[in-house]
């Protein structure tokens, strides 16, 4: 379709790319980076949450958790299909990392990726019990809907189409987490353990938004891969979490970013 300047002009005028062969090298590289982060996070999220199925207190909760794991693996499959169009060996990719492996609970990875694994770092941390799983799912679910909703506006049409189909399921996952958290908060004895889980997961989910002043955003904006800054997305997440936590008597910890 032309060089980078022509592509940027085309995108600035509202154009979208429909296939890998239409994309110049830098655009291809950034698209693959975004898709890999999505696929790795869905793979790791599903693998880590699978153990939570047996943590669930009732059959309905186990069914919901099992469906969530299934849908996250299906989302990863859709992302891998996008990568295959760029020539990626997706069969080999699936076994590239031990998706269920977790670091110690007290580890602090910050925002730095580990060993070429593109998952968001929040998916390297272990879940401890049902209330911890529900809390993590609630906080990360809110973030996921915001972050993937941004990709649904991507200038790469196949990615936007996948995200359009994925976001409703992720929104449902977030609602299930919120409903589960509300049920647990009704039991007074759980309040302190839920607050401890909020204190643990909140800063780790916040890190998934990256640096609030990231200079990479400007590149993504020019390529039509992002519209809103990390700071804007993070602020929306903070507001949504406050709206979920406050009625339950829970509070977000104060972060220094």
Q: What is the 3-state secondary structure (H, E, C) of 16-65?
A: CECCHHHCCHHHHHHHHHHHHHHHHHHHHHHHHHHHHHHHCCCHHHHHHH
Kind and range of the H or E run holding 84: helix 59-85
Tokens of 97: 């990392």
Backbone angles phi, psi at 87, to 5 degrees: 95, 10
Task: Report yes or no on 107 lying in a domain.
Answer: yes
Tokens of 188: 């007074």
List of residues 6+ apart from 51 with CB closer than 8 A: 100, 127
Q: What is d(CA 137, CA 68) in angstroms, rounded to the nearest whole number? A: 10
Rounded to two decimals, the pTM is 0.92
Task: Report yes or no on 175 lying in a domain.
Answer: yes
- Contact indicator for 48, 123 with CB cutoff of 8 Å: yes
Residues 48, 66, 238, 189, Cα dihedral to 10°? -90
What is the number of structural domains in the chain?
1
Task: Report yes or no on 14 lying in a domain.
Answer: no
* Residue range 127-175, pLDDT digits in tens: 999 999 999 999 999 999 999 999 999 999 999 999 999 999 999 999 9
Task: Report yes or no on 16 lying in a domain.
Answer: no
Q: What is d(CA 190, CA 248) in angstroms, rounded to the nearest whole number? A: 11
Task: Report yes or no on 91 lying in a domain.
Answer: yes
In terms of residue numbers, what domain contains 175?
A: 23-248
* Residue range 159-218, pLDDT digits in tens: 999 999 999 999 999 999 999 999 999 886 678 899 999 999 999 999 999 988 877 888
Task: Report yes or no on 11 lying in a domain.
Answer: no
Q: What is d(CA 71, CA 184) in angstroms, rounded to the nearest whole number? A: 24
């Amino acid at each position: 379709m032309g060089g980078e300047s022509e592509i940027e002009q085309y995108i600035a005028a509202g154009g979208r790319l429909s296939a890998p062969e239409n994309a110049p090298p830098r655009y291809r590289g950034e698209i693959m980076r975004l898709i890999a982060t999505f696929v790795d996070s869905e793979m790791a999220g599903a693998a880590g949450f699978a153990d939570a199925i047996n943590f669930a207190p009732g059959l309905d909760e186990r069914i919901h958790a099992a469906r969530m794991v299934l849908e996250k693996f299906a989302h990863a499959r859709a992302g891998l299909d996008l990568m295959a169009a760029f020539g990626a060996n997706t069969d080999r990719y699936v076994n590239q990392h031990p998706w269920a492996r977790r670091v110690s609970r007290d580890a602090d990875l910050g925002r730095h990726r580990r060993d070429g694994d593109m998952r968001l770092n929040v998916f390297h941390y272990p879940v401890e019990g049902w209330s911890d799983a529900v809390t993590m799912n609630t906080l990360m679910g809110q973030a996921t809907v915001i972050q993937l909703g941004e990709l649904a506006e991507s200038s790469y049409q196949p990615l936007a189409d996948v995200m359009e189909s994925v976001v409703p399921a992720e929104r449902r996952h977030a609602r299930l987490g919120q409903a589960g958290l509300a049920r647990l908060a009704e039991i007074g004895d759980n309040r302190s353990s839920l607050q401890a889980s909020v204190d643990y997961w909140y800063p780790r989910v916040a890190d998934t938004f990256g640096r609030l002043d990231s200079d990479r955003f400007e590149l993504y904006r020019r390529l039509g891969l992002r519209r809103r800054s990390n700071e804007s997305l993070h602020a929306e997440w903070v507001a949504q979490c406050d709206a979920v936590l406050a009625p339950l008597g829970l509070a977000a910890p104060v972060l220094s970013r």
